[in-house]
Amino acid sequence: MEATAQEVDAAVRAAHDARDALADRTVRAAFLRTAADELEAARDRLVEAADAETALGPVRLTGELARTCYQLRAFAGIVDEGAFLDVVIDHPDDTAIPPVPDLRRHKVPLGVVAVYSASNFPFAFSVPGGDTASALAAGCPVVVKAHPDHPALSELVARVLRRAAARHGVPEGVLGLVHGFEAGVELVKHPLVSAAGFTGSVRGGRALFDAAAARPVPIPFHGELGSLNPVLVTEAAAAERAEEIGAGLAGSMTLGVGQFCVKPGLVLAPAGAAGDRLVKSLTGAVSDTEAGVLLDHRMRDNFVAGVAERTRLPEVESPVTPGAGGEHTVSAGFLTVPASRLAQEGEHDLLLEECFGPVTVVARYEDEAEARAVLSRLPGNLTATVQLSTREAEGEGRGAELVRELTPLAGRVLVNGWPTGVAVAPAQHHGGPYPATTSTSTSVGGTAVERWLRPVVYQNTPPALLPAELRDDNPLGLPRRFNGRLER
């Protein structure tokens, strides 16, 4: 099933030729809604195929498919509204210094988008996922590089989406699909590819990011690479509800066998009696977690090896030992270490790297200065969480200060919650400072569409030559800023 360079070229050129079919926003919105309808109609067959390849289970996969369909319809609504076009019209003003000519600005699609599927979300971050949905909403055809963990499902879903396209007169080439490592490299280098979206490992994502930047014409590369998702538990929060925090942490770090990109991988907890209660609660909850199957044997091998390497470090203890379960499964667990070991550079820096699977590191700090020293050494993350006491959450103590300190570390900051679960909502941001992502954009939520657009300004252009979006009479009824006034 490995695509040749010729097959990659054919897929990209077919997508490029389909651009004009997406020019009509009405067609785009209808296509997205039909895609959701068709996916739902094929739900049983798709979930069965996904479970056979990923072992994620029908319940989880059915929910993920529902989320994917909701996301497609949400982007259809965004296309209908048209605010994403960011229309701004300024009439001439000779009194300004310097004078302002007639200026009209909106956003246009970049062109063909390459999408690299994720392993852990075979629907929501794969062929029909957020990158694909947002690119199509922007008016960009897509060529998807299928993930090797679910190739058959990828083919099935691609056929469903192409069928939806055909129902609206959109060529099937609007969604291309290729398989294989070399095909992925060829894809990001293709001269007709205008942007790329990636969800995966730091190593793989960085290689593609560098390839995108090294092209004769570099292109935007929006990659989600890896995240530790730190959690800070204040001493007051642990004293108030240690058992609740321990149980919540266990549920979050083991959800989906620890294969969520926002799994909390590092927890800063106090070293005193309250922290002991938290660790005891975490121990009991994790011990009750059944062994699970990771997405493939390579991930399982990396998890087992990564845990073993970490447990060999000085002063690292394992109250519940994670690692190999049965022949194909892994067991959940967690490690503890004095936070002082992480406060300065050394061999324990390994604990500051993501370990994909059901494991977290609990770093016990002696005082606030030690906790802050660890936080100062962390790379960029998708999320950062602080667990506060009731009084701290109401504004007493250092609650507000801690939220401000966590803000530079992540794209989403949580208070008294857990990061697993990324709601599809207009205000959502799923991204963060490098290496969490390679750009400042989001791959979830309405603003994800902005990744695949670029602004164009028309100056002193006769009305007859203007795009309909930029005419004074606003024939498309778009929200816009007209002579400095926001119009809805």
Residues 44, 51: Cα–Cα separation, whole Å = 11
Backbone angles phi, psi at 487, to 5 degrees: -115, 135
224 is catalytic: yes
Q: Which strands sit side by side in the sheet containing 221-224, from one edge to the other? A: 175-178, 142-145, 112-116, 193-199, 221-224
CA dist 370 → 68, 192, 264, 270, 336 (Å) = 42, 51, 20, 10, 15
Distance CA 340, CA 347 (A): 12
CB neighbour list of residue 450: distance below 8 Å, 6 or more residues apart: 84, 107, 441
Give the span between the Cα atoms of 14 and 201, in whole angstroms: 29
Contact indicator for 391, 397 with CB cutoff of 8 Å: yes
Provide the 8-state DSSP code for 178: E
* Side-by-side strand order, sheet with 453-459: 453-459, 103-109, 87-90, 480-482, 485-487
CA angle (266 as vertex; 261, 268 as ends), nearest 5? 145
Contact (Cβ atoms closer than 8 angstroms) between residue 231 and residue 267:
yes
Q: Which of 158, 138, 141 is nearest to 150 (CA)?
A: 158
Which residue out of 261, 354, 370, 392 is catalytically annotated?
261
Cα–Cα distance for residue pair 293/289, rounded to 1 Å: 13
261 as an active site residue: the answer is: yes
Q: What is the dihedral of CA 81, 139, 218, 120, to 10 degrees?
A: 90
> What tokens does 303 get?
């998890």
For residue 144, which amino acid is it?
V
Query: Coil, strand or helix: which one is 203?
Result: helix
242 strand-pairing partners = none
- Tokens 């997205």 locate to 32
Choosing from 53, 224, 392, 469, the catalytic residue is 224
3-state SS, residue 296: coil
According to DSSP, residue 176 is labeled: E
Tell me the catalytic residues.
Answer: 224, 261
